[in-house]
C-alpha cells in the first residue's frame, strides 16, 4: 500500500513538474504571437501559434489523468492540483480556439490588405476572416469567464501569480479580439459590401463644446460602394438655415433639458450626449436641406485627425500650410481664428483640412498599423462616434465607445457621465481647463455607497483676453457673456437607479437643476468664469446597491486628453 502511495506521489510530482514547464513555455508564446501579428509577420505568427498549441495541449494532458484527479481530493495539495489543472485547461482552450486560428489567419492575410488603394478597400480579406475571428472571440470570452471562476485563494504563490497573469492576459486579448470581431463585420457593411451607402460626417469643433465634442462647423457626405470611398458633397453650418418646424421630435426630457435648438440648428444637434439621437437629427437636417438618403452618421474631431496624421504623415493644404500631427490641434482650434475673421473663411479652411486628410487615407498614403492605432485611440477617447440607420449594423456597435450612448454600468463598474456645453457662443473652450476626480464612501447601515464626482473648471485665457483675442473667439458680448469670460453648462449623469444628493461649489451648497434624462438621474448647472478664475463642483449621488464598484467617467472630449484622478471622501460631507 505504501509503495502504491509513493508511486502515486512520484507520478503526480513528475507530471506537475512537466506541466509547469509546458505552461511556462506557452504563456510567453502567447505574447510572441501577438507581437508577430502586430508586426505583420504572418509566417512567424503561424509557427509560434503552432508551438504554443503543442505546449498547451501537453500541459492539459499532463494534469487531467485519473491519478491526478483523484489526488485533487487530498487536503491542501488537492486545491493546488485543481487550480493547476484549470489553468492548463484554460490555456489549452485559448490555444486551440483562439491563438491557432488567429495565427493561421495572420499567415494568409497581411495588415496591408486592409489599406485603401486608389480610393478603394479590398473587402474580401475582411469578409473571409470573419469565421476565424468570431471563433477566437468566442473562445477568449469563454476562457476569460473560466479563468475568473478559478478560486486560487490559499494556493502556493507561483500558482496564484500564474492565475493573475493569465487573467490579465485573457482580459486584454478578449477585449482586442472582440473589437476585431466587430470591425470585420462593421467595416465591410459600412463600405458598401452589400450595396451603396451614404454617410454624413460631422467634423466636431472642440473650440465650442457640445456634449459629444463640439459644434459641427464642417459637414461632408461620403459615398461608399463595394469598398470604394468617394467624397460626394461638402457643406458648412452656414448652409443650414434654422429649421422650422424641426425635422425631428425630441423626447420630452431631452427637450426640457437641452431646448428646441437641438432640432433647429445643425451646430446644436449634439447638445444632447446621446449621439444616436443627435445623429438622427443631423440626418434629418441634411435630407431636409439637400435631399438624398443617409445611411449613417460619423462624428470626428481635430484631435482624432491629429492621430490619423501620425499614420499619414504631414499633409500640404491648398493654403500652403502643412498640417501635421504636431500642429493640427493648434492650427484648427486656435490659429484659424486669428488668421480668418469671417466664419465662411474659417469653414473653408476646416473643409480643406478635412478633404486633405480624407484624400490621404482613401488613397492609401498611410501606415496601416498606425492608422488602426489612431482609430483605436480616438475611439477609446470617444472622438469618433458612429450611428447606422440599419439596426443590424448598429447592433455591432452596442456597448462600445463608438456608439456614443449614455454610460452603461456593469457588475464591476459604476459609470457616470460628465458633459459640457458651451454657452458663451464663441470659441473660448481651448482656454477651458477641466479636471475630474471621483471617490466613494459607505456611511449608511444598509451599505449603499455615496459617490462623489468633483469637476473643476478654470479659465486660462490671458487677463487681457477681451482685447487680445479676436471678437469671433470671445463672442464680443453678443450672447451676454463678458468678452474673455467662458460660460459653460455642466450636466453630470448618475447611473439609473441612483439618488441625487445635490451639488456643492467650493464646499458650499450650490444652486443646480436636479432632473432626469432617459432614466438617468442627473444634476445640471451653469457657470461663468472670468480669465484666471476657477470653480470646483462636487456632485453627490447615492448608489442603489450595497456594493463597491470601480468608478468610470465618460466625459465630453476636450482639446486635450483628460485623466480622472482619485477623490478621497469621508462621511463628514455637506452632501450626505
Specify the CATH number for the domain of residue 492: 2.60.40
Q: Which of 500, 479, 497 is nearest to 489 (CA)?
A: 479
**Residue 170 burial (CB < 10 Å; 0-12/13-18/19+)?**
buried
Q: What is the per-residue pLDDT for 118? A: 82
Look at residues 154, 170, 190 and tell me which one is the last residue of a structural domain: 190
Highest mean pLDDT among 44-53, 130-139, 205-214: 205-214
Q: 119 lies in which domain range?
A: 2-190
- Residue 308, domain CATH: 3.40.630
Tell me: pLDDT of 53 over 90. Answer: no
Q: Which of 456, 445, 454 is nearest to 571 (CA)?
A: 445
Q: What is the per-residue pLDDT for 352? A: 87
Q: Which three cell numbers stand for residue 430?
A: 481651448
127-144 mean pLDDT: 90
Whether the CB-CB separation of 77 and 71 falls below 8 Å is answered with: yes
Tell me: pLDDT of 571 over 50. Answer: yes
Asked whether residue 574 is assigned to any structural domain, the reply reads no
* Confidence bin at 7 (pLDDT 50/70/90): low
Alpha helices in 95-123 (DSSP H): 100-108
pLDDT tens digits, one per residue of 263-309:
999 999 999 999 999 999 999 999 999 999 999 999 999 999 999 99
Contacts 24+ apart (CB under 8 A), 462-470: 462/531, 463/531, 463/532, 465/431, 465/531, 470/337, 470/338, 470/341
Please name the helix (run of DSSP H) or strand (run of DSSP E) that holds residue 534, with its range, or none: strand 534-542
Q: What is the per-residue pLDDT for 460? A: 98
Q: What percent of the chain has pLDDT above 90?
A: 56
Q: What is the per-residue pLDDT for 303? A: 95
* Confidence bin at 2 (pLDDT 50/70/90): very low
Q: What is the per-residue pLDDT for 65? A: 78
Whether the CB-CB separation of 246 and 264 falls below 8 Å is answered with: yes
In whole angstroms, give the CA distance from residue 168 to residue 159: 14
In whole angstroms, give the CA distance from residue 292 to residue 308: 29
In this structure, are 227 and 143 located in the same domain? no
Greatest pairwise CA separation for the chain in angstroms: 97
Q: What is the per-residue pLDDT for 5? A: 46
Tell me: pLDDT of 450 over 50. Answer: yes
* Confidence bin at 61 (pLDDT 50/70/90): confident
pLDDT tens digits, one per residue of 10-30:
656 667 677 777 877 877 877
Tell me: pLDDT of 382 over 80. Answer: yes
pLDDT tens digits, one per residue of 399-422:
889 999 999 999 989 999 999 999
In this structure, are 160 and 227 located in the same domain? no
In this structure, are 33 and 55 located in the same domain? yes
Asked whether residue 301 is assigned to any structural domain, the reply reads yes
Asked whether residue 400 is assigned to any structural domain, the reply reads no
Q: What percent of the chain has pLDDT above 70?
A: 95
Tell me: pLDDT of 173 over 90. Answer: no
Distance of CA 545 to the CA centre of its chain: 26
189-218 mean pLDDT: 95
Q: What is the per-residue pLDDT for 257? A: 94
Q: What is the CB neighbour count within 10 angstroms for residue 555?
A: 21
Contacts of 261 (CB under 8 A, 6+ apart): 268, 271
Tell me: pLDDT of 1 over 70. Answer: no
Report the DSSP pairing between strands 564-566 and 432-442: parallel
Asked whether residue 71 is assigned to any structural domain, the reply reads yes
In this structure, are 93 and 42 located in the same domain? yes
Q: Which of 112, 137, 99, 128 is nearest to 41 (CA)?
A: 112
Q: What is the per-residue pLDDT for 100? A: 83
* Confidence bin at 370 (pLDDT 50/70/90): confident
In whole angstroms, give the CA distance from residue 336 to residue 351: 12
Asked whether residue 472 is assigned to any structural domain, the reply reads yes
Q: Which of 246, 243, 269 is nearest to 258 (CA)?
A: 269
In this structure, are 449 and 521 located in the same domain? yes
In this structure, are 293 and 343 located in the same domain? yes
Q: Which three cell numbers stand for residue 439?
A: 471617490
- 464 vs 46, residue with greater confidence: 464
Tell me: pLDDT of 204 over 80. Answer: yes
Give the torsion sign (CA, 568, 571, 573, 575).
positive
**Residue 278 burial (CB < 10 Å; 0-12/13-18/19+)?**
buried
Q: What is the per-residue pLDDT for 332? A: 92
In this structure, are 38 and 163 located in the same domain? yes
In whole angstroms, give the CA distance from residue 523 to residue 540: 9
Min mean pLDDT across 15-29, 43-57, 74-88 is at 15-29
Asked whether residue 572 is assigned to any structural domain, the reply reads no
b/e map of 420-454 (b: 16 or more CB within 10 Å)?
bbbbbbbbbbbbbbbebbbbbbbeeeeebbbbbbb
In this structure, are 126 and 219 located in the same domain? no
Q: Which of 420, 398, 419, 393 is nearest to 408 (CA)?
A: 398
Can you state the angle between helices 100-108 and 2-38, rounded to 10 degrees? Answer: 30
169-195 mean pLDDT: 87
In this structure, are 142 and 278 located in the same domain? no
Look at residues 174, 190, 206 and tell me which one is the last residue of a structural domain: 190
**Left if phi > 0, otherwise alpha if psi is -120 to 50, otherwise beta: which for 434?**
beta
Contacts of 549 (CB under 8 A, 6+ apart): 409, 411, 412, 413, 414, 449, 543
In this structure, are 382 and 479 located in the same domain? no
Adjacent-strand bridge partners of 455: 436, 537
Asked whether residue 172 is assigned to any structural domain, the reply reads yes
* Confidence bin at 344 (pLDDT 50/70/90): confident
Whether the CB-CB separation of 426 and 456 falls below 8 Å is answered with: no
Whether the CB-CB separation of 302 and 399 falls below 8 Å is answered with: no
In this structure, are 221 and 364 located in the same domain? yes
Q: How many domains does the chain have?
A: 3
In this structure, are 35 and 125 located in the same domain? yes
- Angle in degrees, CA 274, 275, 278, rounded to 5: 95
Q: What is the CB neighbour count within 10 angstroms for residue 128?
A: 14
Whether the CB-CB separation of 95 and 56 falls below 8 Å is answered with: yes
Q: Which three cell numbers stand for residue 564?
A: 480622472
Whether the CB-CB separation of 231 and 220 falls below 8 Å is answered with: yes
Asked whether residue 491 is assigned to any structural domain, the reply reads yes
Q: What is the per-residue pLDDT for 182? A: 87
In whole angstroms, give the CA distance from residue 140 to residue 96: 10
Adjacent-strand bridge partners of 234: 220
371-384 mean pLDDT: 90
- 408 vs 56, residue with greater confidence: 408
* Confidence bin at 9 (pLDDT 50/70/90): low
Highest mean pLDDT among 54-63, 71-80, 81-90, 497-506: 497-506
Look at residues 162, 190, 218 and tell me which one is the last residue of a structural domain: 190
Q: What is the per-residue pLDDT for 568? A: 95
520-529 β-sheet, strand order: 513-517, 520-529, 486-493, 413-422, 550-555
Q: Which of 142, 145, 122 is nearest to 134 (CA)?
A: 142
Amino acid at each position: 500500500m505504501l509503495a502504491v502511495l509513493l508511486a502515486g506521489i512520484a507520478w503526480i510530482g513528475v507530471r506537475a513538474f512537466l506541466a509547469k514547464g509546458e505552461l511556462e513555455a506557452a504563456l510567453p508564446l502567447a505574447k510572441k504571437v501577438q507581437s508577430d501579428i502586430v508586426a505583420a509577420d504572418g509566417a512567424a505568427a503561424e509557427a509560434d501559434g503552432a508551438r504554443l498549441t503543442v505546449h498547451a495541449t501537453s500541459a492539459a494532458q499532463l494534469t487531467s489523468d485519473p491519478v491526478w484527479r483523484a489526488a485533487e481530493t487530498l487536503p491542501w495539495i488537492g486545491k493546488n492540483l485543481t487550480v493547476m489543472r484549470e489553468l492548463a485547461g484554460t490555456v489549452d482552450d485559448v490555444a486551440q480556439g483562439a491563438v491557432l486560428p488567429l495565427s493561421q489567419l495572420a499567415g494568409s492575410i497581411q495588415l496591408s490588405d486592409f489599406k485603401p488603394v486608389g480610393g478603394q478597400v479590398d473587402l474580401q480579406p475582411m469578409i473571409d476572416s470573419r469565421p476565424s475571428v468570431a471563433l477566437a472571440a468566442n473562445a477568449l470570452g469563454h476562457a476569460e469567464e473560466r479563468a475568473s471562476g478559478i478560486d486560487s485563494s490559499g494556493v502556493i504563490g507561483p500558482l496564484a501569480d500564474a492565475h493573475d497573469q493569465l487573467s490579465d492576459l485573457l482580459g486584454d486579448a478578449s477585449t482586442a479580439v472582440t473589437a476585431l470581431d466587430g470591425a470585420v463585420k462593421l467595416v465591410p457593411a459600412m463600405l458598401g459590401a452589400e450595396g451603396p451607402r451614404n454617410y454624413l460626417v460631422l467634423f466636431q469643433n472642440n473650440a465650442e463644446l457640445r456634449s459629444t465634442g463640439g459644434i459641427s462647423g464642417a459637414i461632408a457626405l461620403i459615398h461608399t460602394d463595394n469598398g470604394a470611398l468617394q467624397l460626394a458633397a461638402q457643406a458648412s453650418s452656414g448652409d443650414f438655415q434654422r429649421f422650422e418646424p424641426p425635422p425631428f421630435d425630441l423626447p420630452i426630457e431631452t427637450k426640457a433639458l437641452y431646448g428646441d435648438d437641438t432640432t433647429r440648428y445643425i451646430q446644436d444637434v449634439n447638445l444632447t450626449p446621446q449621439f444616436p439621437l443627435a445623429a438622427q437629427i443631423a440626418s434629418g437636417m441634411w435630407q431636409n436641406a439637400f435631399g438624398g438618403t443617409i445611411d449613417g452618421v460619423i462624428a470626428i474631431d481635430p484631435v482624432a485627425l491629429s492621430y490619423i496624421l501620425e499614420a499619414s504623415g504631414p499633409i500640404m493644404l491648398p493654403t500652403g500650410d502643412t498640417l501635421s500631427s504636431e500642429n493640427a490641434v493648434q492650427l484648427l482650434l486656435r490659429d484659424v481664428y486669428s488668421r480668418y475673421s469671417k466664419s465662411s473663411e474659417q469653414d473653408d479652411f476646416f473643409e480643406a483640412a478635412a478633404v486633405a486628410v480624407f484624400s490621404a487615407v482613401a488613397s492609401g498614403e498611410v501606415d496601416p498599423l498606425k492608422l488602426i492605432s489612431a482609430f483605436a485611440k480616438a475611439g477609446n477617447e470617444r472622438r469618433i462616434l458612429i450611428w447606422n440607420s440599419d439596426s443590424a449594423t448598429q447592433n455591432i456597435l452596442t456597448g462600445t465607445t463608438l456608439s456614443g450612448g449614455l454610460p452603461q454600468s456593469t457588475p464591476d463598474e459604476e459609470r457616470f457621465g460628465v458633459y459640457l456645453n458651451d454657452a458663451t457662443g464663441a470659441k473660448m473652450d481651448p482656454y477651458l481647463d477641466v479636471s475630474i476626480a471621483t471617490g466613494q464612501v459607505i456611511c449608511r447601515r444598509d451599505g449603499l455607497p455615496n459617490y462623489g464626482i468633483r469637476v473643476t473648471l478654470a479659465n486660462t485665457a490671458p487677463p487681457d483676453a477681451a482685447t487680445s483675442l479676436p471678437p469671433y473667439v470671445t463672442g464680443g458680448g453678443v450672447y451676454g457673456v463678458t468678452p474673455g469670460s467662458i460660460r459653460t453648462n455642466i450636466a453630470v449623469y448618475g447611473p439609473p437607479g441612483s439618488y441625487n444628493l445635490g451639488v456643492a461649489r467650493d464646499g458650499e451648497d450650490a444652486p443646480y437643476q436636479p432632473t432626469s434624462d432617459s432614466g438617468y438621474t442627473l444634476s445640471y448647472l451653469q457657470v461663468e468664469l472670468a480669465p484666471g478664475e476657477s470653480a470646483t463642483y462636487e456632485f453627490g449621488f447615492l448608489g442603489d446597491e450595497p456594493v463597491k464598484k470601480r468608478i468610470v467617467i465618460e466625459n465630453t472630449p476636450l482639446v486635450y486628453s483628460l485623466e480622472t484622478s482619485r477623490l478621497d471622501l469621508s462621511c463628514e460631507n455637506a452632501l450626505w
